[in-house]
Amino acid sequence: MTSLSPSFQQPSVHRKMVISATPRISVSENFITSALHSHPLSYGSSWRICRNLRGLKLWMLQNLDFRGPKRKHEQKNEINMLQIEDKDELLDNTEPHHQRQDLQQLSAAIVSNESSSSSNTQHEENTLPYQFEKPRRIGTSMKYSHSQQTQASSITFQGRPNFLSIAVIGATGELARRKIFPALFALYYSGYLPENFGIFGYSRKSLTDDDLRSMIASTLTCRIDQQQNCEEKMEAFLRRTYYLNGGYDNREGMSKLSARMEQVEGEFGANRIFYLSVPQEALLDVALSLADSAQSQKGWNRIIIEKPFGSNLLSSHQLTSSLLLKFKEKQLYRIDHLLGRNTIENLAVLRFSNLVFMPLWNRNYIRNVQVILSEDLGLRTSDGYSNSYGIIGDVVHSHIFQTIALLAMEPPVTLEGEDVRNEKVKLLRSIRKLDTSDVIVGCCAPASGSKDAAKLGNITPTYFAAALFIDNARWDDVPFLIKVGRGLVKHRVEIRIQFRHVPGNLYRGQIVHNTDLANNELILRDAPDEAILVRVNNKVPGLGIHLDASELNLLYKDKYNIEIPDSYEQLLHDVIDGDNHLFMRSDEVTAAWDVLSPVLHELDKNNLIPEQYELGGRGPDNAIYLWAKHGIRWMDD
């Protein structure tokens, strides 16, 4: 069994402190001896020593009287940080149950001994060579100030990692250059990355560090509403960016990547994030090679996977099973950039923090829900489809279903990621499997001879419309109408919640507009201009009583004079923070494919043929009949 390196064998606690007399000192010495020598440990178990010593520090903070400089006012926060770190590390490392019990019993014995010791003790002061930095944790509200960043050190408390390594696999691709690197720089510029971090680009091209820095420099921009020290920040960020040519053997390449990371991280190790910006056909080989050869042994590891998450129920199950052989579910972050939009985050805020909406959020008051994502002529209709299901796998399976889940789920126990995911998967499992009579699939037909026409052919769906039903007590018989398309006349992304008619409306005769428009609506608009609108009926000024519909609006660009972060910036921040509520869990992926399976089977059998529509039009003509079938006027039209 390999012994630990000398730096881990005999740690000494060097800190200027005031502690109580002999009984307290002997207890702490016994604790150190037990933590280090009770079990012969291999290098792979070194995290356990760090945890035991962290337990020692926690006990010392809670029971000893520290009077060193700046310690009193920091003691409470330090205790909280240690407890959080201990919880987070347990999720990423397995340890036999009896060993955890031993440590808990040992801690309990120490506390018991302390409680019986005399309160009137003498104190002595020990002046020691150097001090350690206090623990830090990146949280939802954690923003590193300049002074905090400059105080951060590569030296950690008894081997606890505090370096953050982020590897972008596929670093020379368009997604990495246009979105991922700019998002990481935006986080750094705004103070949401720790001082000790490194960005590692990995691909098969023969480049140097300077080549990668030059490539991404032109894509980095500073906040429009800030701009302080922009060039200085940009140069500092680029200096922390490194490149590795992985070659064509991913296993060997990942070993080289890990070695390069360790070289930059230093002897104490680090937490690592791997963003797999690679084609679907290469995903498994890269992920499995990474699992075997590049994971940190002394910190947590998180893996970001781009959509689509399989192409159907079977392929998704195979992909998930392979990933879970090497990773824990908590390590996987299935990213969909559309879910990082501010409008999506606003769904839960509107629902659960506004009393005016909470009692109305059910079948008794809501007539229908419309989810719209239409892209106009300015966007290429053939982008990014990796399989024959086109927009169904690219947008509907992830973004649309996750939007509906967040919109319609029951209140979670807390806002913790797993509690939110538990409610989302319950909702997804309650969605009735789609009947092809409630589905319209379309294919954009670009002008003859164009590049798009050659790429699209006649089979790849670029339009999907459907009526979904949720079989539970809250939403029984309420249609959720979906319209998703590319190459349409409007660029619009919004959710429209239409309420029922006022029963026995006294003003029915005075409504001067279409009675369908007299229904109250709540509109959450993401594009073209982010806004929250409420449609209400009001009296038209003048003699007599005539009613009209008006929109009470909160237009974000008028209300808030700030730049809204890009969706990749939001989601990367969540990954760093360990917040996974906007990322699909494996059971959510399965539940969504299960709902879509009948439609995919009919497409495979050619029983459901995509209907062609003109580029720049409103989509397939049959969509109008689908809305009429359910007695709904599509308000966007």
- Mean pLDDT for back-to-back runs of 10 residues, the chain (637 residues): 41 40 43 44 47 60 50 49 50 44 46 42 33 36 45 43 89 94 94 92 94 93 73 92 93 95 86 95 94 92 94 94 96 95 90 93 95 76 61 94 96 95 97 94 75 57 95 96 92 93 78 67 90 87 81 83 87 96 97 96 92 90 88 68
Which run of H or of E encompasses 548? strand 547-555
- pTM to 2 decimals? 0.74
For residues 377 and 521, membership in a common domain is answered with yes
Domain assignment of residue 378, yes or no: yes
Same-domain check for residues 110 and 52: yes
Residue 398 gets which letter from DSSP? I
In the chain, the number of structural domains is 3
CA 36 – CA 46 distance, rounded (Å): 10
Residues contacting 187, CB < 8 A, separation 6+: 193, 569, 572, 573, 576
Tokens representing 577 are 């923070």
Element (H, E) at 525: strand 521-527
User: Each residue of 396-437: pLDDT tens digit?
Assistant: 999 999 999 999 999 999 999 999 999 999 999 999 999 999
Q: Are residues 485 and 620 in the same domain?
A: yes
Last residue of a domain, one of 306, 327, 361: 306
Confirm if 464 and 440 have CB atoms less than 8 A apart.
yes
Indicate whether 143 belongs to any domain: no
DSSP code of 139? -
Annotated active-site residue in 37, 146, 397, 399: 399
The answer on 192 and 295 residing in a single domain is yes
**Phi and psi for 374 in degrees, rounded to 5?**
-120, 135
Question: Residue 250 is part of a domain; what is its CATH number?
Answer: 3.40.50.720
For residue 467, give the nearest of 600, 631, 626 by alpha carbon.
Answer: 626
CA–CA distance from 222 to each of 174, 207, 570, 619, 627 (Å)? 20, 26, 16, 39, 45
CATH number for position 485 = 3.30.360.10
Give the whole-angstrom CA distance, residue 571 versus residue 392. Answer: 22
Cα–Cα distance for residue pair 200/217, rounded to 1 Å: 15
pLDDT of amino acid 55: 63
Cα four-point dihedral sign 453, 456, 461, 463: negative
User: In this structure, what DSSP letter does residue 117 have?
Assistant: S
The rounded distance, in Å, linking the Cα atoms of 474 and 179 is 39
* Four-residue CA torsion sign, 353, 359, 363, 368: negative
> Is 399 among the residues known to form the active site?
yes
- Of 256, 281, 306, which residue is a domain's last? 306
Write phi, then psi, for 194 (nearest 5 degrees): -70, 165
In a domain, 154, yes or no: no
Domain that holds residue 42: 6-117
Q: What CA dihedral angle connects 386, 388, 393 and 396, to 10 degrees?
A: 130
Nearest CA to 570 out of 349, 337, 400, 407 is that of 337
76 and 197 share one domain: no
Domain end: 57, 92, 117, which one?
A: 117
19 in any annotated domain: yes
